[in-house]
Chains A and B, each alone.
Chain A
Amino acid sequence: MRLVRQLLRRPTVVLGLAIVLLFTFVAVFAPLLEPYPIDGPSGEPFEPPSAAHWLGTDDAGVDMLSLVIAGAQNSMLVGFAAALVAVLIGGTLGIIAGYKGSWGETTVTGVTDFFLVIPGLPLMIVLAALFGQTIYHIVLVIGLLSWMSVTYVVRAQVHTLKERGFVARARSLGAGDLYIIRRHILTHVAPLLVAQTVLTVASAVFFEAALAFIGLGDPERVSWGTIIQNAFLHSAVSLGAWWAIVPPGVCIALVVLGCFLVGQGVEEAMNPRLGHAHVAPKSFRLRRASTEDEA
């Protein structure tokens, strides 16, 4: 609770939180908020923004504002679901590696290193191309390739927690490993997991847009990525219809930025010495340089 109060005093965190909550709200209530239906035209093709269509229309005359709202639903869904998958895997592996030590740690760091080195997007493309493009596959593909940074961050935190007095005391009173993990480790790692979830949402939204642009989005659903792809394919560029391109991109950028502000704020509040030593909402790769027991 102290952490929450401390966080709410930071203007950047409040701003980030406001952005993320706003888009989550829009995503949840999307069908109620869309001013026009998205499955049919409500105006002329590529109508510029007007009082009737605030963001204009796309190549089929569908209202852009409605599309962006509907896109929020699927983009945020992919973002949160993939982040949950990633944090579940990464958190579990990180706790195992940090708490167990010895061979458990060697195995986990080996596997994590492997997935860190393999370039993410090409592998996602291969997997999505091989296993079909429903939204569930996309969630899995992104989630299964985004857990590595979570593992490293959690492992480092568990390492320091393990040496703390209360863990030793609990152990000397006869507490088992599972009890200590549940009672002491998890409660202390929880804020970090939240921060990692939020940061992974950002990268997942980004990767969804990338996959969709390459033509690997779910063809049945509208997302910010598929809106951009659709505009690209239907010559919004040559017609100068910037309104068919700008809104989804701005939404992606806002969500990424909001998630980054929140995640960074939580991490800084937990570890003030961290400063600004790392920045990478999309790929956490440079974090690796700071794991002290490397080499």
Chain B
Amino acid sequence: MSKRQKFIVRRAASALIIAFIAVTFSFVLFRALPGDAAANLSRVPNMTPEAQAAIRAQFGIDKPLATQYWLYLKELVRGNLGYSFQNQQPVRDNVLLNIRNTVVMVGVGTVAAILLGTLIGVAAAYRQGSARDRVITGAAMVIYSLPVQWIGLLLLVWLAGYLPTSGMSDPYLLDAGLWETLVDRARHMLLPSTCVALMLFGGFALVVRSSQLEALADDHVLTARAKGYRNRRIVWREAFRSAMLPLVTLSTLTLGWVIAGAILVEAVFSWPGAGLATVQAVSARDYPMLQGIFLFVTVSVVGFNFVGDVLHAVLDPRVTE
């Protein structure tokens, strides 16, 4: 096996182990709850101990913990995450629907943030310590420090009259053509996606700036300069190509942070994604739903981290050494 293959196999193994521990962790967490699904029922009038026991048997919580854990793993592998307390639908279906909405909205915002952050970061690194650099770094840091829910609320205050402020589509838009539906969706998405982009781009700009500064100080850039290439070519083709690496790693490593932001943004704009579902599950104490989202998000983050590691290894063979 080549070094790279070995690296990938080792990373895959560690990702699988981490995912398994996370799944177990989630089982322990939700079993550590005070009381169980039948405990509250003792307050229900005419509730007999027999009926309670029957409910416990129905939910399988009368079995020993090891058996419960085994059942939990078995059902998880079959894709069964239980049923939501709120709408009695399978948690899996709810989560998949929510995640789809989140991915679209957050994806657009993240891509915008990466593009914007790259442009601004490279512009700031063009001449370190110049007025432009200072203004950009300062502004990026300030924006980076602002709580995202607060940015969202201010966007709402300013733009409430011009753009739809909540939800994903206009409920009164009936029999609309494909084009009209798309425009309606895009209009609803504009504010939340902008909010995600604002939250992320400051961090991206700062990282691009610092790695671009490092790259510009590299020997090969000096060579390029000696060869008399134009500045634009030096900045983008010579320096930025090597400065891109941290951006790739960062994009996967900040995923946990993106998710945190998505939860808050969706809460502000009532965007029907996984974040809003989390908030609703919390207030309705819908534990199966909460656990389902947590499992799904955690396992996907572990997966994306693995993809990021592999991508990094492909782009920069040094990491497999």
List residues of A whose CB falls within 8 A of some B CB: 113-114, 117-123, 125-127, 129-130, 202, 206, 209-210, 213-216, 228, 231-232, 236-238, 240, 242, 245-246, 248-249, 252-254, 256-257, 260, 275-283, 285-286, 288-289, 294-295
- Does the CB pair B145–A122 fall under 8 Å? no
The 7 closest A-B pairs by CB, nearest first: A249-B150, A121-B260, A119-B256, A256-B145, A279-B206, A276-B210, A253-B145
In the bound complex, how far is the Cα of B282 from the Cα of A209, in angstroms?
Answer: 16
Other than the known A114-B18, A122-B263, A231-B153, what 11 A-B pairs have Cβ atoms closer than 8 Å?
Answer: A121-B260, A122-B260, A122-B297, A130-B29, A210-B147, A236-B153, A237-B156, A249-B146, A276-B210, A285-B256, A289-B249
29 contacts between A and B (CB under 8 A): A113-B18, A119-B301, A122-B298, A125-B278, A129-B290, A130-B29, A130-B33, A210-B147, A210-B149, A210-B264, A214-B264, A214-B278, A214-B279, A215-B279, A216-B282, A228-B149, A245-B153, A246-B154, A252-B150, A257-B145, A275-B210, A276-B213, A283-B256, A283-B260, A285-B254, A286-B250, A286-B254, A294-B319, A295-B319
Chain B residues with CB under 8 Å of A294's CB are 319
- Does the CB pair A245–B210 fall under 8 Å? no
Select A228's contact among B147, B249, B298, B319, beta carbons within 8 Å. B147
Chain A residues with CB under 8 Å of B297's CB are 119, 122
- Does the CB pair B279–A210 fall under 8 Å? no
- Does the CB pair B147–A209 fall under 8 Å? yes
The answer to whether the Cβ of B182 comes within 8 Å of any Cβ in the partner chain is no
Taking the closest CB of chain B, its distance from the CB of A236, in whole angstroms, is 8
**Chain A residue at minimum C-beta to C-beta distance from B296:** A122
In the bound complex, how far is the Cα of B150 from the Cα of A260, in angstroms?
Answer: 19
- Does the CB pair B290–A257 fall under 8 Å? no
- Does the CB pair B142–A253 fall under 8 Å? yes
Select A122's contact among B33, B207, B283, B294, beta carbons within 8 Å. B294
Taking the closest CB of chain A, its distance from the CB of B126, in whole angstroms, is 15
In the bound complex, how far is the Cα of B22 from the Cα of A122, in angstroms?
Answer: 13
In the bound complex, how far is the Cα of B301 from the Cα of A283, in angstroms?
Answer: 15
- Does the CB pair A295–B320 fall under 8 Å? yes
Chain A residues with CB under 8 Å of B283's CB are 215
Chain B residues with CB under 8 Å of A279's CB are 141, 144, 203, 206-207, 210
- Does the CB pair B256–A120 fall under 8 Å? yes
Chain B residues with CB under 8 Å of A125's CB are 263, 278, 282, 290
Bitwise, B294-305 to A at CB < 8 A (1) or not (0) is: 100110011001
The answer to whether the Cβ of B12 comes within 8 Å of any Cβ in the partner chain is no
In the bound complex, how far is the Cα of B166 from the Cα of A237, in angstroms?
Answer: 12
The answer to whether the Cβ of B188 comes within 8 Å of any Cβ in the partner chain is no
In the bound complex, how far is the Cα of B156 from the Cα of A121, in angstroms?
Answer: 24
- Does the CB pair A237–B250 fall under 8 Å? no
In the bound complex, how far is the Cα of B203 from the Cα of A113, in angstroms?
Answer: 22
Taking the closest CB of chain B, its distance from the CB of A222, in whole angstroms, is 16
A-B contact count (CB 8 A): 166
In the bound complex, how far is the Cα of B208 from the Cα of A278, in angstroms?
Answer: 10
Chain B residues with CB under 8 Å of A127's CB are 29
Chain A residues with CB under 8 Å of B259's CB are 119, 121-122
Looking at chain A's contact residues, is the secondary structure mostly helix, strand, loop, or mixed? Answer: helix
In the bound complex, how far is the Cα of B198 from the Cα of A19, in angstroms?
Answer: 24
The answer to whether the Cβ of B82 comes within 8 Å of any Cβ in the partner chain is no
In the bound complex, how far is the Cα of B257 from the Cα of A281, in angstroms?
Answer: 12
In the bound complex, how far is the Cα of B268 from the Cα of A210, in angstroms?
Answer: 11
Select B302's contact among A117, A126, A286, beta carbons within 8 Å. A117
- Does the CB pair A209–B149 fall under 8 Å? yes
The answer to whether the Cβ of B59 comes within 8 Å of any Cβ in the partner chain is no
The answer to whether the Cβ of B157 comes within 8 Å of any Cβ in the partner chain is yes
In the complex where A122-B294, A288-B253 touch, is A280 in contact with B319 (Cβ < 8 A)? no
**Chain B residue at minimum C-beta to C-beta distance from A207:** B260
**Chain B residue at minimum C-beta to C-beta distance from A276:** B210
- Does the CB pair A237–B206 fall under 8 Å? no
In the bound complex, how far is the Cα of B264 from the Cα of A50, in angstroms?
Answer: 31
**Chain B residue at minimum C-beta to C-beta distance from A239:** B157
**Chain A residue at minimum C-beta to C-beta distance from B319:** A295
In the complex where A245-B153, A277-B210 touch, is A253 in contact with B146 (Cβ < 8 A)? yes
In the bound complex, how far is the Cα of B250 from the Cα of A283, in angstroms?
Answer: 11
Bitwise, B246-282 to A at CB < 8 A (1) or not (0) is: 1001100111110110011001100000000011001
In the bound complex, how far is the Cα of B293 from the Cα of A229, in angstroms?
Answer: 23
In the bound complex, how far is the Cα of B257 from the Cα of A120, in angstroms?
Answer: 8
**Chain A residue at minimum C-beta to C-beta distance from B153:** A245
Taking the closest CB of chain B, its distance from the CB of A105, in whole angstroms, is 16
In the bound complex, how far is the Cα of B282 from the Cα of A122, in angstroms?
Answer: 11
Chain A residues with CB under 8 Å of B157's CB are 237, 240, 242, 245
The answer to whether the Cβ of B32 comes within 8 Å of any Cβ in the partner chain is yes
- Does the CB pair B256–A242 fall under 8 Å? no
Chain B residues with CB under 8 Å of A129's CB are 282, 285, 290
- Does the CB pair A123–B282 fall under 8 Å? no
Taking the closest CB of chain A, its distance from the CB of B278, in whole angstroms, is 6
